[in-house]
Amino acid sequence: MTMQTALQEALFRCNKCGSCTATCPLYEQTKQEGMAARGKLALVEAALEGNLPVTPALRDRLSDCLLCGACKVSCPSAVPTTAIFEAARAEVAEKLGLPLWQKAFLFALDSPSLLGVATRTGGLVQQTGLLSFAPPIARCPYRSRRLPNLTGEQAKATVAFFVGCLMNTVYADVAEATHRVLVHNGYRVETPAVGCCGMPNRGMGDREGARRLARQNIDALARYETVVTDCATCGSALKEYGALLADDPAYAERAKGLAGRVYDIAEFLVRFGYEPPAGELPVRVTYHESCHLGREQKVKAQPRQLLRSIPGLDFVEMSGADACCGGGGSFAFTHPELGRQVGAAKGESIEATGAPIVATGCPGCSVQLRNLLRHQGSTAVVRHPVQLLATSYGRMATIPSGSIIS
């Protein structure tokens, strides 16, 4: 293993104090060293020193991580744990190659037509009742929906809406809500032809793929002053393009520039103002803070502020709202048992609020939360804050009638 000097230096700052074990959701469940950051850093260190060969066993150990970033935030020596793990995964992938399922997955994400076929097929299969672990795929993707929009003259500004893969295909209703809320607030919404944000590639160790997608997206978004997304993961990825392309002379500056123009939808609305919602929504709602939104983008107060501004909405903070739900991108698929164990506490916190709706700004978390709630027999449903706002605006019905407080 080699790894760039800056990361090696950072890795060396780990004093093995163990404070990462206090915040690691996986360590909490397993009490095993290999699950916490300190352990994985020790393995990377051993590989760098030539004391540990790069084998599938090391790849598996490196995959024992949600990339939730809790350790990074709590580390007294400020070791950039997740960046080191991503770099290590990339090196291991380079040496061993990606497993076939990861290759296929990334290939599908990279090809809109293939992704379309895959989700349409998945949707048909779901109608038969199979694939129930996956959230229902939208009958019609967001990009195929005909939605009202403003002309350049009518609008106070034009924004580029970065529509993520999951948002377009699975959570098309969320994307529609985002679209309608932006239009309601006087913006013209344009949806440039962007690709995947590259986060799945980064997680799986396909750094080159992530960089290629980043360049593609930077080009696609070049002419927009403002980019809005409703996906916590995409937002996080876009804002990190600067680091991803720091050593690419042609793109480094543009990547950094883009980061300053990207907003999560809640961040955007609160920052530039939004019409106060007037429609009564007498429903209790709690909020799950996704790692990609709260920890990575520091967007914490804004989604809560949106929810609280809805008349009649009874906002209840759950305990441990910022704790990882155990989804971790594809982690819940590769480590279903562990993912569920981590999520169990989250499920209980949601239940304890008595809220029939849990709001969250991340599609990955939404999949996990839905499965957790179903697993524990809860009838609570998952919604994006922007959906509730759209409903209060009278633009879209998004909540089950049974959840209204009578």
By the criterion CB under 8 A, which residues form the site for another protein? 9, 12-13, 15-19, 21-22, 30-34, 39, 42-43, 46, 51-52, 57-58, 61, 76-78
Shortest spacing between CB 6 and another protein, in angstroms = 12
CB-nearer residue toward another protein: 349 or 403: 349
Shortest spacing between CB 40 and another protein, in angstroms = 9
Give the tokens for residue 176: 């529609």
CB-nearer residue toward another protein: 64 or 110: 64
CB-nearer residue toward another protein: 78 or 222: 78
Buried b (16+ CB within 10 A) or exposed e, 4-25: eeebbebbeebeeeebbbebbb
Report the distance separating Cα 404 and Cα 283, nearest Å.
Answer: 5
CB-nearer residue toward another protein: 40 or 180: 40
Report the distance separating Cα 186 and Cα 200, nearest Å.
Answer: 33
CB-nearer residue toward another protein: 51 or 113: 51
For residue 261, the 8-state DSSP code is T
Report the distance separating Cα 147 and Cα 205, nearest Å.
Answer: 37
Shortest spacing between CB 77 and another protein, in angstroms = 4
Shortest spacing between CB 25 and another protein, in angstroms = 14
CB-nearer residue toward another protein: 64 or 267: 64
Report yes or no: 325 and 288 within 8 Å, Cβ to Cβ.
yes
Shortest spacing between CB 13 and another protein, in angstroms = 5
Report the distance separating Cα 43 and Cα 200, nearest Å.
Answer: 23
> Residue 51 class from Cβ within 10 Å (0-12 exposed, 13-18 middle, 19+ buried)?
exposed
Shortest spacing between CB 344 and another protein, in angstroms = 17
